[in-house]
Amino acid sequence: MSHHHHHGDTSVESDGGLADLLDLDADVLHEYWTDALGRVRRAADDGPRRRIVDLGAGTGTGTLGLAHRFAGAEVVAVDASDEMLDRLRARALDQGLADRVRTVRADLDDGWPVDGPVDVTWASLSLHHFADPDRVLRDVHAATRPGGLLAVAEFAERPRFLPDAIGPGLEQRLLDELGRDQADRLPHLGSDWAARVTAAGFELVEERTFVIDVAGDADGSVGRYADLWFRRLRPRLAERLDPADTATLDGLLDGDGPETLLRRGDLHVRGTRTVTLGRRP
């Protein structure tokens, strides 16, 4: 999909926008992904690791990263979206992993879709989308062999990109409105995941916060990431913003204009993600 969206381009709100954003996330936050998946690899015990599951796998950054780290294991990528899984399979083929990566299209709200015992489960930014994450966590527990591992990666602090001088304070107001918007739509966002992992029957191994701090340059992936992030937020937040903020945001999103996010040197991605590790006793 092209990154040259224009105002009112409805395709941005399709899965395609999200798939591009996930690919940019893997690129821009490469260091976080390496650290987080490396931590999962080290926490897994020395037992057999035949089957790994990625819940809400998206375009497969976790799936492929785990397939590379767990030699010989089969990685089952579960997602409700065909578009995500198509892209994931193409990446697996590119990376020579097609024989060990399997995709399962399933809505995890409908029940547990993976056969057989599971050794490691990875769920990144997906549990907060499920209607009943506790039920899914109990299903993961039931499917996990004793000694097996669960890793839940979630947002702690939302990513920020902009200097405060823009709008002044525009980004904080956007985040405040986003929080209000999401309080109803995504009630599980920001939960105490360690408590929920434990309640599902896992022993807590650790809860680790990863600090994200990536400076952008004038024409790199940070700009494309910021552009797509705010482009996806705009229709959701436009009615809640005052006209001056909407105008500032539109200037940032005007790919041909002087303020475009795509070509500025002052972006800086900051945020935190938490990875919660549990082991089935």
Ligand X SMILES: C[S@@+](CC[C@H](N)C(=O)[O-])C[C@H]1O[C@@H](n2cnc3c(N)ncnc32)[C@H](O)[C@@H]1O
- Give the closest residue to 40 by CA, choosing from 208, 235, 162, 256: 208
State the minimum distance, in angstroms, from the CB of residue 136 to ligand X.
9
Question: Does 192 sit near ligand X (CB under 6 A)?
Answer: no
Contact flag: residue 62 with ligand X (CB under 6 A): yes
Stretch that binds ligand X, among 4-12, 73-81, 169-177, 215-223 (CB under 6 A): 73-81
Candidates 66, 84, 149, 150: give the one binding ligand X (CB under 6 A): 84
User: By CB under 6 A, is residue 65 in contact with ligand X?
Assistant: no
* C-beta closer to ligand X: residue 108 or 162: 108
174 lies in the site for ligand X, by CB under 6 A: no
Distance between CA atoms of 99 and 222, rounded to whole angstroms? 33
The number of residues that bind ligand X (CB under 6 A) is 19
If you ran DSSP here, which 8-state letter would residue 26 be given?
H
Q: Is the alpha carbon torsion for 157, 162, 163, 167 positive or negative?
A: negative
One of 39, 68, 102, 129 touching ligand X (CB under 6 A): 129
Whole-angstrom Cα distance, residue 127 to residue 188? 8
Q: What is the rounded CA–CA span in Å between residue 50 and residue 181? A: 41
CA distances from 46 to 8, 15, 149 (A): 52, 38, 11
- Tell me which stretch binds ligand X (CB under 6 A): 87-95, 103-111, 186-194, 228-236: 103-111
Longest dimension (CA), the chain: 59
Judged by the rule CB under 6 A, the positions of this chain that interact with ligand X are 22, 25, 56-58, 61-62, 79-81, 84, 107-109, 124-126, 129-130
